[in-house]
Amino acid sequence: MKSIKFLFFWSIFFAFSNIRAQESELFDLKKCVEFAIQNNLQVKQAELNIRQNELSEKQAKWSISPTANASLRHGGNFGRSIDFTSYQYVTQATHSSQFSINIGQPVYNGMQIKNRVRQTVIDVQAGEKDAAQIKDNIALAVAQAYLTILLADEQIAVLKEQVKMSQAQLDQTNKLIKAGNLPENNRFDLEAQIARNEQSVVAAENGLDMAYMNLKVLMNVEPSKDIRIAKIEVQTPENIQSSTMEEVFTQAGSRMPNILAARLREQSADMGIRIAKGALQPSISAYGSVFTNFSSAAKNRSFEQQTQTINLDVLGISVPVGFPITVPVEGGTISYFKQIRDNIYSNVGVNVNVPIFNGFQTRIAIERAELAVKIAKMNTLTVQNQLKTDIQRSINDLKAAEKSYAVAEKSLKATKASAENTKKRFELGVVNAFEMVSVQNMLISAESSLLQAKYDYVFKLKVLDYYKGITITDNQQ
């Protein structure tokens, strides 16, 4: 009985251990990005689009191959109808079958098939670049959400430390009040400050939950799933080498997926012109067919020699004269497979189609293809201009973030000195608790501003590095 209880206890223990292990899963930045790319719905949609383009490519490549089609027709005929074995009219109920195999082979069609294959290959490559761009955008968004969580976590730590400091000051104040060195009302301001600090901690924890929720949305994770991110030390970059928009654009223009996709679509549109012009040229194809049939009206026919006698009048005397004749004799129905075998015939040939006039459909198609090329080129210019704008904005944002961080750092340093001085004066009774609380609030605000400036600075740097070709997870700090 004890052994059963022992086993039951350990089974329950391991079960709860497994459940607890599954409750929370640890993710670092690289794992977050990979998970988001693997599960994001936009990425899945882009992959489906790539698959569609691949099928179009496969279809275009197979269009050069021969075509073969077989047909079977079987039916009943009633009343006066044609016997397809003798091509004579019969008036009876019959049933018949026709079998045929037709083969076609395109020989030349103005290079349309070859150009269409080239176009589909380019479309597949463009679709892959679109998917790569979506993945890069997701990586940036995940990195920002990741840094937001780290920021919220550090802010919570700062606020909790402030609660401890305020509580320590309250304890010290109570001792001074008890000793008669401070008035009773100094306690009230500090107690109110502790309450506000605790309220700030709760608000920051709610902000952390919202940051996690945003990350889960990007990763396409169930909201109820408990995940944790790996805590990493985010160092503020120093001695950053400044870059001009032209320098970064030169690097980005040769590798950014959306730029490459736009250029590929220019090539695809150019292939569209060649395909449309190919319809102006003659097309040549070879064909061949084999046909056979069966009819229940078909009969075996044989011929026999008979003597036909006629009377000739010779000098008024009727003289019988006989001469041989061949008379057809109809036998039974010809068997099914014998008709199928005996009625086979085939034909082969070459078909040449010369376009003369088709209501200007081909000319209009050519003009439409030429417009598509112009549209594709304008789209490429639009994407390039947008990239230049984004790069310039990223450079400006980084410079502004660098300045904001420097200012926030100086502000925190000065506020710390002021807070330390006010604390000493408070302990000496020179300033009251209200002034002490005000300085502490300024310190909290300065620390929070510095944290925000630091993480904003780091993220802006990651965005610029992305344009330079540095992967988000490669420069993880």
> How many CA atoms lie within 13 Å of 387's alpha carbon, on the beta-carbon side?
26
Q: Specify the DSSP class assigned to residue 282.
A: -
Token couple for 273: 């012109």
Cα four-point dihedral sign 59, 60, 66, 70: positive
Q: Say how far apart CA 286 and CA 291 lie, in whole Å.
A: 17
Cβ 285 vs Cβ 106: under 8 Å: yes
Report domain extents, the chain.
34-65+109-281+355-397, 69-104+282-295+334-346, 299-331
- DSSP code string of 322-372: EEEEEEEEEEEEPPHHHHHHHT-EEEEEEEEE----STTHHHHHHHHHHHH
Write the pLDDT tens digit of every residue in 304-350.
676 777 777 767 777 676 667 765 656 677 888 888 888 898 999 99
Beta-carbon neighbour count of residue 142 at 10 Å?
Answer: 26
Write the pLDDT tens digit of every residue in 465-477.
888 888 766 444 4
Question: What phi and psi values does residue 88 have, to the nearest 5 degrees?
Answer: -120, 150
pLDDT at 117: 94
Question: What phi and psi values does residue 63 have, to the nearest 5 degrees?
Answer: -70, -15
CATH code at 34-65+109-281+355-397: 1.20.1600.10
Write the pLDDT tens digit of every residue in 31-41.
899 999 998 88
Question: What phi and psi values does residue 334 have, to the nearest 5 degrees?
Answer: -70, 140
The distance of Cα 111 from the centroid of its chain, to the nearest Å, equals 32
- What is the β-pairing status of strands 317-333 and 283-295? unpaired
Write the pLDDT tens digit of every residue in 280-295.
999 999 999 999 988 8
Cβ 102 vs Cβ 287: under 8 Å: yes
- Measured over all CA atoms, what is the biggest interatomic distance in the chain, rounded to whole angstroms? 180
Cβ 331 vs Cβ 299: under 8 Å: yes
Q: What pTM was computed for the model?
A: 0.76
Task: Say which range, 11-20, 72-81, 179-188, has the weakest mean pLDDT.
Answer: 11-20
Q: What is the mean pLDDT of residues 148-177?
A: 83
* Residue 7 predicted with pLDDT over 50: no
- The type of residue at 390 is D
Token couple for 198: 């605790």
Write the pLDDT tens digit of every residue in 75-89.
887 777 776 666 677
